[in-house]
Chains A and B, each alone.
Chain A
Amino acid sequence: MKLNIEGLLVYFPYDYIYPEQYSYMLELKRTLDAKGHGVLEMPSGTGKTISLLSLIVAYQRVSSAFPLDVTKLIYCSRTVPEIEKVVEELRKLMEFYAKETGERNNFLALALSSRKNLCIHPEVSSLRFGKEVDGKCHSLTASYIRAQRHVNPNQPVCRFYEEFDAVGRQVPLPAGIYNLDDLKDFGRRKGWCPYYLARYAILHANIVVYSYHYLLDPKIADLVSKELAKKSVVVFDEAHNIDNVCIDSMSVNITRRTLDRCQNNVDTLQNTIQKIKETDAAKLREEYRRLVEGLKEANVARETDIYLSNPVLPDEILKEAVPGTIRTAEHFVGFLRRFLEYLKSRLRVHHVVQESAPQFLKDIFDKVCIDRKPLRFCAERLQSLLRTLEIADIADFSAVTLISNFATLVSTYSQGFTIIIEPFEDRTPTIANPVLHFSCMDPSIAIKPVFQRFQSVIITSGTLSPLDIYPRILDFRPVTMASFTMTLNTFNVCLCLVALSSKFETREDFAVIRNYGNLLLEMSAVVPDGIVAFFTSYVYMENIVASWYEQGILENIQRNKLIFIETQDAAETSMALEKYQEACENGRGAILLSVARGKVSEGIDFVHHFGRAVIMFGVPYVYTQSRILKARLEYLRDQFQIRENDFLTFDAMRHAAQCVGRAIRGKTDYGLMIFADKRYARADKRGKLPRWIQEHINDGSLNLTVDETVQLSKHFLRQMAQPFRQEDQLGLSLLTLEQLESEEMLQKITQIAHQT
């Protein structure tokens, strides 16, 4: 259908539309009009993706007529399957455009992923790990390798890359929609490398779909995204965890193993330098000359707005030349050695040390006379050296790269980071395993360039409540913040808050564990197919399962359903997940015991029968004894005036909402959501749940006993099993064009968006 959204003609590829989708597009349009950033929360399964795509594509099409310009959409998602889903939706939209307007539009949209997912080289693509693929690819395509081929024709190179390099850049990728497989097919047909083709094509594509890291991780963003147009709309989908992604991309953990590997790297560097000096001293001299001139080129590019700035490479150092102390290759290696020795000495501690970046710099200056300035150039200098030395396999040098990144970061940012050195893990205080955490506490550092560079940044997810906290921790000013609810003709969610306690003090209590067991046992008898139960941590889950076993509860549960357990081992977990789904599929019924914040809670959807009930045992607070967390809380309090408790509760509730949200993935889906903890009933917790969950909480679902929950569930499940017809939805939660345009409905729609 064709919609008119405040004067903008939007093609929507379906015959029906949910009212909240309309409302969502309305808010989105206002955000784009204002050229600002937005935070939008809408429950999963209500067609967020298609609403986003329809509106932005419509916006791009008319942008020539409008004074404001949107040339590109950068859609960031979390996982490869999600990326593929977005591309499929886009394909549907474009087919609709072609049908309605009758013309082939010259729209180019493509997905980009790592080499591992895009490589078509027969040998390289057969490798199993992403790192191996990257390394192998690099050893076939690096510029000096290819230069060597001119001398030595036996030098193996990647023929796909050669072919692409020869002709691929002159001919633009024909317009169309490309997912990863399409790119590979195209690459095979033409004999071009799909990965480099995609990386090149994103510069002139209208829509790019890729992972967060291509924009947020400074190391990758620098390679891939720095030339993307300023007039782009950036969308972060499923962005409820964006602050953690930012933090992770800027944090560095250094263990003794890292240092050992780094030592090896440095030795290799030394040897290579020695060799080159004997054979090709001119090359080193050339590098020296380049370094004297400084990083001017990069600086010019950034000033003229061509590049996305990189937080690892701060603006100030671009204006300067690389300091003399590390300009020659030997000196730099010597410098690295000294730095490494210093780090080794720091790791020989017996108690926990926590210090700020300035303290660390002062200490390093006092002990080994390393100044702040050369440290700041460390990362850049290393890159230059690796280029000069023509080292093929970059993957081997990850340790020394990590250390040099650390050096640059620690000397650049005096605020927002903390250094914690722990001699052992908390759980195993007898085993020495020293770790240096260089931990970022301010997610805004990593995302700042994105906000500064791009015209509009949209942060959206099913669970972003409370909305106002995201702008605060990411330090930006949104023009729209809105939360949308799901309009339903029936309640397809049954929410139960069971009055059981798992407060830290009482959770080892025998009675509490037995009550939890009883709840699960009773539910396993009334809920069909799959149940997913979430615990607060792996340790807690292990304890509980062990005592259930002793009490015989486990045996009773197994009479009703099979039990699968998520572990920290990824392979084991995916095996368990597979078997779980099989058991749900063939009527055996199964329970998956998993952990909030684990792999299952974040990336895996339990549609329909795979998750008829979700039980959340306890409130998933983070492990509050962690020093990194404590430092971060302190920072939040000092910098953003966010109280520790508020943040902890916010964090716990978003994970709880994320967990229970796994079960409802659309309007025809239904499921029970059970919060098994008394504390959820409190106003401060309830208030932080997303609005679409809060709306289902009524007095009848608060503080239930196990028996009441069972009765409620039985009734609910029978109601839900009744045949469901689309006609029932029409006009209420599903609208045709006429219904949408009625006065009354427009009135209603304005109420869906809940502004804050």
Chain B
Amino acid sequence: PTEPFALIICINPRLMRHLFVVIDCSRSMEDQDLKPNRLTSTLKLMEAFIDGYFDQNPISQVGIITTKNKRAEKLTDLAGNPKKHIAMLKKAVDTVCVGEPSLYNSLKLAIQTLKHMPGHTSREILIILSSLTTCDPANIYEMTKTLKSLNVRVSIIGLSAEVRVCTVLTRETGGSYHVILDESHFKELLMLHVKPPPTSSSSECSLIRMGFPQHTIGSLADQDAKPAFSMSHLDSSSGPSLGGYFCPQCHSNYTELPVECKVCGLTLVSAPHLARSFHHLFPLDAFIESPVEEHQRNGYDFCQACQGELKDKSIFTCPSCRSVFCVECDLFIHDSLHCCPSCIHSQTAS
């Protein structure tokens, strides 16, 4: 078996995101214009969002804050484990919605954590605001200045109508502000935030060490196997296990990746995680659309990817390898694969 190893990787904020989602739990969340009500609908969509977020940004972290009754409290801390968040979201369905939200308190709570995040990671806040008002203990425009100086980007999704303070807040911090039309539009808007936002020029890049532990399956028959407690599940009462991911630096055991080693602080990831994060940095060029007739004359009748016959009106050509694809494959390549299969094929062949 190969030794687990560590590498030094150049990281920029689009690779490593820190996002706080603020969920409004005020009285107005009981409104039934989203079925069955705004809160339930929001929480359900949030679950999908969390999944999507970690799928696209595997080495990023998320935290959830709720605000009601003029206060803000943390539902979950910044963490990279989707399961924990989703479990908490499921629990939150029974929350009683009372009082007014407080943008100021929520933002304050969020930046208490975010300001300690290193500069090569992004600091983002996404607010889902149902109420039309906010009850703030101090001037929110002062807070806007603080957010701006800390490079925190605030985006808002409004559930009812355009509120002035949100417009200003998002404009000043460089975030986006949208108001939903209905539930499907809500989902669409929420999923926009799955992708990392475009980086500002001021963002720094830096080199950090990352560990790439390999998964080992230990068996009792193996004499070298040493049973160990999973560091990430120390609190839960699961017993020691033989296999898992071992930190290349300190050999702590983890059952899941990605994770930050609790002992030595090394970020542990696997290669595919990194690859999926990287595609935001180097997006695949759009394929060139052209009418199908031209190419049929040249003898291309089949899609490079699915090998199906080109029946649609237009076809798509990869600008680098000149391969031809059908509409479905073009969508699949750009939305999920993030790399041209034909290009990779030719690389490996040569």
Contact = CB atoms under 8 A, between A and B. Distances in A.
Nearest to B141: A586
A542 B119 CA distance: 58
Given A589-B132, A722-B179, A722-B181, 13 more contacts: A525-B28, A528-B162, A559-B100, A560-B133, A584-B164, A585-B164, A586-B165, A587-B133, A587-B136, A609-B163, A612-B161, A714-B160, A718-B179
B339 to A, nearest CB: 32
A587 B134 contact: yes
Given A529-B132, A561-B133, A718-B180, A586 B162 contact: no
B141 to A, nearest CB: 7
B160 A528 contact: yes
B28 A587 contact: no
B238 interface: no
Interface string A687-714: 0000000000000000000000000001
Interface string B124-159: 000000001111100111000000000000000010
B30 to A, nearest CB: 11
A609 B164 contact: yes
B166 interface: yes
Interface in B182-204: none
B163 A529 contact: yes
19 contacts: A526-B160, A526-B161, A527-B161, A528-B161, A528-B164, A529-B132, A529-B164, A559-B27, A560-B132, A585-B164, A586-B141, A587-B103, A587-B134, A587-B140, A587-B164, A587-B166, A714-B160, A714-B161, A718-B179
A431 interface: no
Interface of B: 27-28, 33, 100, 103, 132-136, 139-141, 158, 160-167, 178-181
A721 B164 contact: no
A376 to B, nearest CB: 59
A331 interface: no
A527 B132 contact: yes
A723 B192 CA distance: 15
A529 B165 CA distance: 9
Contacts, number: 74
B160 A588 contact: no
Interface string A612-629: 100000000000000000
B161 A718 contact: yes
B133 A718 contact: no
A584 B132 CA distance: 11
B99 to A, nearest CB: 9
Contacts of B141: 586
A721 B181 CA distance: 9
Given A528-B160, A528-B163, A586-B141, A718 B181 contact: yes
Given A527-B132, A587-B134, A588-B133, A718 B164 contact: no
B181 A528 contact: no
- Which of B136, B160, B164, B179 has the largest count of A CB atoms less than 10 A from its CB? B164
A586 B165 CA distance: 6
Contacts of B166: 587
Contacts of A561: 133
B163 A587 contact: yes
A586 B132 contact: no
A586 B140 contact: yes
Interface string A508-544: 0000000000000000011111000000000000000
Contact of A717 (B135, B136, B161): B161
A530 B43 CA distance: 30
